[in-house]
């Protein structure tokens, strides 16, 4: 059976949505990143990068949410794009845009806006600007059709949805007012039974919520270098 190494954050949410949409049986293995469980040897044997999500399927071991989505799409024949048609090529480009742009810039914007020590004005401005720019490109794309690949629901949409749930935390509470097409898209995906199942999944487990010294050390191990002088 598929084992899904999970934390209720944007990248695992993408994979959880696929698993639910495809109706796959899977076992959830919670990984509490604020407790540092991602750094334990048993998890590092699966994902040496110490990040969630990860997934095992028999002898197949995968990490990185985009790689997992592409693997599952090929395994099931659902929600992917295997051909060389122009629409498939475009969908692949947008999938990588989320992986290399939306995720990293949104993640860095959150880090510097909410968690980094002062002074941080330069970093907040840089990453928030880039996050806003990337999300506006997604919004424009969604003005052209129901989904990121026109009328076809795919892993690109699941990838967008994983991060878009955090848009108010990333960009500010009024962000939906400036991203109307993304808001329409989110309302539609959130109404799907699979999305409700993903939201329920987060409530099945108890994860550490406090951002205390243990959590900061687990999530931002680079700070040890600063402490060491």
Q: Indicate if 118 and 152 belong to the same structural domain.
A: yes
pLDDT at 85 over 90: no
Q: What is the CATH number of the domain that holds 182?
A: 1.20.1050.10
Within a domain: 67? yes
pLDDT at 192 over 80: yes
Residues 6+ apart with CB under 8 A from 24: 2, 72, 76
Q: Indicate if 137 and 184 belong to the same structural domain.
A: yes
Q: What is the CATH number of the domain that holds 210?
A: 3.40.30.10
Strand-pair category, 26-30 with 60-63: unpaired
Please, what is the average pLDDT of the chain? Answer: 96
- pLDDT, residue 229, reads 63
pTM for the whole thing? 0.95
Distance in Å from the first CA to the final CA of the chain = 47
pLDDT at 207 over 90: yes
What is the number of domains present in the chain?
A: 2
pLDDT at 173 over 90: yes
Strand-pair category, 54-57 with 2-6: antiparallel
Domain holding 100, by residue range, is 86-191
């Amino acid at each position: 059976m598929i084992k899904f190494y999970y934390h209720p954050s944007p990248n695992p949410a993408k994979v959880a949505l696929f698993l639910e949409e495809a109706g796959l049986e899977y076992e959830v293995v919670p990984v509490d990143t604020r407790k540092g469980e991602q750094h334990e040897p048993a998890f590092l044997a699966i994902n040496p990068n110490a990040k969630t999500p990860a997934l095992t399927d028999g002898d197949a071991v995968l990490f990185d949410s985009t790689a997992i989505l592409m693997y599952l799409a090929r395994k099931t024949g659902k929600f992917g794009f295997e051909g060389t048609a122009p629409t498939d090529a475009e969908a692949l480009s947008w999938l990588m845009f989320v992986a290399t742009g939306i995720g990293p810039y949104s993640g860095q914007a959150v880090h510097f806006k909410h968690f980094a020590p002062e002074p941080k004005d330069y970093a907040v401005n840089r990453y928030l600007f880039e996050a806003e720019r990337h999300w506006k490109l997604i919004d424009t794309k969604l003005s052209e059709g129901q989904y990121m690949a026109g009328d076809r629901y795919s892993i690109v949409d699941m990838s967008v949805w994983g991060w878009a749930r955090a848009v108010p935390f990333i960009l500010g509470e009024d962000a939906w007012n400036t991203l109307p097409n993304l808001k329409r898209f989110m309302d539609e995906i959130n109404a799907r039974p699979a999305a409700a199942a993903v939201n329920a999944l987060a409530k099945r487990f108890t994860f550490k919520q406090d951002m205390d010294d243990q959590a900061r050390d687990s999530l931002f191990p680079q700070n040890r270098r600063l402490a060491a002088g």
